[in-house]
Amino acid sequence: MAFFFEVLINGLLVGIMYSLVALGFALIYKASDVFNMAQGAMSLLAGLALVGFLEMSFPLWLALLCTVGVMIILAYSTVFFILKPLVARPPLMLFMATFGVMYLVEGIGQSIYGTQAKGLSIGIPEISFEIQGILLNTFDLTFAGLAAVLVAGLVWFFQKTRTGRALRAVSDDHEAALSVGIPLLKAWAVTWVIAGIVATVAGVAWGTRLGVQFSLGYIAFKALPVLIIGGIDSIPGAIIAGLIVGAGENLAEVFIGPYVGGGIQTFFPYLIALLVLYFKPYGLFGKEIIERV
């Protein structure tokens, strides 16, 4: 039983890492109705930028600050140079534009930082310790706490602040929001900046764990079943679904994998997503859309 709980808890902690990537998707979709395929590339760029600044002998706090500055520049550039000409266009065009942003960001990262994998350490000790027979890791617990604070802050922002409510109004109807004086581009810029900060946290977390390499850009595909399960526009849903996916794939790999030849981690989250879609087409916490014709 202690081994079962150890596998479960470690899966939950990995699930929080998935949730950090899914959060960026949910944020941008919630506020701008755009499915941002560049979120994984944004996390990659944040990790590369942090490594670059640390290699220039910047202290960690300054390197993090400069990395956030890079993400803010990326956010404003994306909104005003790429998305601005597409205002009021079909959502599919905005979705395809984010594909262009993804490849552009990866290309810029490759031209500046090269293609070699880079190690990243931010000074968080990775010490394993045991509680009641369950093995835990200080690194995972630290990022779990950080994710909890981040989610609580985002929920408060969207529910309680005037800017957050304006962003939700923009998501419901772009033209209606414009008609009541909500500046659409400003709302998008704020959302992309917040998503960039979330991408920085995700990039640092995954970069520290796996090394900063270009495969990090594809971690977004691991977040897709998280979005489907939690609901594409739900911030709490992204966290809860991340926990479900992390725990589910870990338990399945350990207890079912040996009977089917292993490798179940790769597709098990998508099986959970398909099951959820069958009963809840908008996800566990997604907003149901009812259209009357």
pLDDT tens series, the chain, 293 aa: 777 887 888 888 888 888 888 888 888 887 777 788 888 888 888 888 998 898 888 898 899 999 999 999 999 998 888 888 887 777 788 888 888 888 888 888 888 887 787 877 787 777 777 777 777 778 778 878 888 888 788 878 877 888 777 777 776 666 666 666 667 778 888 888 888 888 888 888 888 877 788 777 677 777 888 888 988 878 788 888 888 988 888 888 888 888 877 778 888 888 899 998 888 888 888 776 665 55
3-state secondary structure of 267: coil
Q: How many CA atoms lie within 13 A of 242 on its CB side?
A: 30
Task: Name the DSSP letter for residue 217.
Answer: G
> With contact defined as beta carbons under 8 Å apart, do 230 and 242 qualify?
yes
Q: Alpha-carbon distance 24 to 19, whole Å?
A: 9
DSSP codes of every residue in 112-162: HH-SS-B----S----EEEETTEEEEHHHHHHHHHHHHHHHHHHHHHHHSH
Distances (CA, A) of 84 to 81, 92, 142, 187, 290: 6, 15, 38, 12, 29
Q: Two tokens at 151?
A: 């989610």
pLDDT digits (tens, 9 = 90+) for 85-107: 887 777 788 888 888 888 888 88
**Structural domain includes residue 83:** yes
Q: Is 116 exposed, middle or buried (0-12, 13-18, 19+ CB in 10 A)?
A: exposed
H helix and E strand count, the chain? 12, 2
Give residue 170's identity as a one-letter amino acid code: V
**Structural domain includes residue 26:** yes
Here the CATH number for the domain that contains residue 84 is: 1.10.3470
Domain that holds residue 197: 2-279
**Structural domain includes residue 156:** yes
Q: Two tokens at 220?
A: 């977004």
Q: Two tokens at 13?
A: 């902690």
**Structural domain includes residue 284:** no
**Structural domain includes residue 74:** yes
CB atoms within 10 A of CB 153: 11
Q: How many domains does the chain have?
A: 1
Q: Two tokens at 63?
A: 């390197």
**Structural domain includes residue 85:** yes
Task: Name the DSSP letter for residue 280.
Answer: -
**Structural domain includes residue 293:** no
**Structural domain includes residue 78:** yes
Q: Alpha-carbon distance 30 to 190, whole Å?
A: 12
3-state secondary structure of 163: helix
